[in-house]
Amino acid sequence: MVFAPVPQLTVTIEQQGEAPELHVHPGGQGIWQARMCSALGASVTLCAAVGGEIGTVITGLLKHENLRVRTVTRETDSGWYVHDRRDGQRTAVVEHPGVPLGRHDLDELYTNALAEGLRARVALLSGAAGPRVVRPDVYRRLATDLNAHGTSVVADLSGDHLTAVLAGGVTFLKVGHDELIEAGRATDDSDEALLEAAHRLREEGAGAVLISRAERPGIALIDDEALLVCLPPLQAVDHRGAGDSMTAGIASVMAQGGDLRDAVRTGAAAGALNVTRHGLGTGHRDAIAELAQRVELTPMRA
């Protein structure tokens, strides 16, 4: 189950040849993660709330994704963005994260996510585009309830939402190094500072931790063993979405009964492949499997 509380309509302008191209997709962290989970062979149920004219478009587009979808029709508008990539860079023309979820909408969404999460082996809790769209305590409650009934919780959150989900308990946490620094959880991006942060995250409620670090090796903490996660570099088209694909790779392996080290290898491979592509949360299972064999997990000094 992927909890994607407030997905967005994504509009991207690109130009590979003489004519410009317009690409319109459902998007946001949870959508990208669900798409990658499905590409890796996991059976995925997406739980989301959509509303307004934008929500109607998102609902229609979701029918073309290889996902089972349970949506709540909310009273307020969904989020959206328009990005211009004609010069090869991603420039935000205008963005709207979506109106914060109201009480009635949130109650319905929570009920759907709880029911589907209880049916699933793994629940992946993703964030919204803006910190005020969904209250942090929603993640604490959902993680607590799912843990109580044996569902493994995977989370990819930051700030107050990260703190809240840790209080509920997380089987596997993926977080970016920059998010830890911004929140004051790490002093810098050195191995020592990030490993110290990973240990504190475990103390707060994370069973295992993977800290992504852009082009540098990630840091994983599994069963008290610290590991550097290294993958030969690939030529990047768009770095955006690599972390979401990484989280999806981890959740997919866990959902299919794999061990955590294999999950980290697959997650690292999925993230690496995604940067070579224009589409977010996309990739081919065979390519990811091949890359996963090239991911090195090197023990670190504690």
pLDDT band at 285 (very low <50, low <70, confident <90, very high): confident
Buried b (16+ CB within 10 A) or exposed e, 140-169: bbbbebbbeeebbbbbbbbeebbbbbbbbb
- Total Cβ atoms within 10 A of residue 207: 18
In the three-class reduction of DSSP (H, G, I as helix; E, B as strand; rest coil), residue 169 is classed as: coil
Our count of domains for the chain comes to 1
Domain range for 125 is: 2-299
- What pLDDT does 98 receive? 94
Please state, in angstroms and rounded to a whole number, the distance separating the CA atoms of residues 38 and 297.
25
User: What is the band of 276 on the pLDDT scale with cuts at 50, 70, 90?
Assistant: low
Please state the separation of Cα 250 from the chain's center in Å: 10
Which of 223, 194, 225 lies closest to 211, judged by CA? 194
CATH assignment of the domain containing 122: 3.40.1190.20
**Closest alpha carbon to 3 in 110, 104, 92:** 110
State the Cα–Cα distance between residues 218 and 191, nearest whole angstrom: 9
**What amino acid occupies position 50?**
V
Span 15-51, pLDDT tens digits: 988 999 999 999 999 999 999 999 999 999 999 999 9
Identify the band that residue 216 occupies on the pLDDT scale cut at 50, 70 and 90.
Answer: confident
Question: Which pLDDT band, with edges at 50, 70 and 90, does 301 fall under?
Answer: confident
The three-class DSSP label of residue 34 is: helix
Q: Give the residue with greater pLDDT, 264 vs 233.
A: 264
Angle between helices 285-292 and 260-274 (to 10 degrees): 120
Report pLDDT for 281: 46
What is the C-alpha separation between 43 and 283, in angstroms, rounded? 16
Whole-structure pTM value: 0.93
Question: Which tokens sit at 23?
Answer: 């690409």
- As a whole number of angstroms, the distance between CA 4 and CA 128 comes to 7
Q: Tell me if 283 sits within 8 A of 38, measured CB to CB.
A: no
Q: Is residue 279 within 8 Å of 70, Cβ to Cβ?
A: no
Return the axis-axis angle of helices 137-148 and 159-168, rounded to nearest 10°.
Answer: 20
Query: For residue range 141-162, what is the model confidence (pLDDT) as tens digits?
Result: 999 999 999 999 999 999 999 9
Strands (E), the chain: 2-3, 8-14, 21-27, 45-50, 68-73, 79-84, 91-96, 122-126, 152-156, 170-176, 206-212, 218-222, 225-230, 296-299
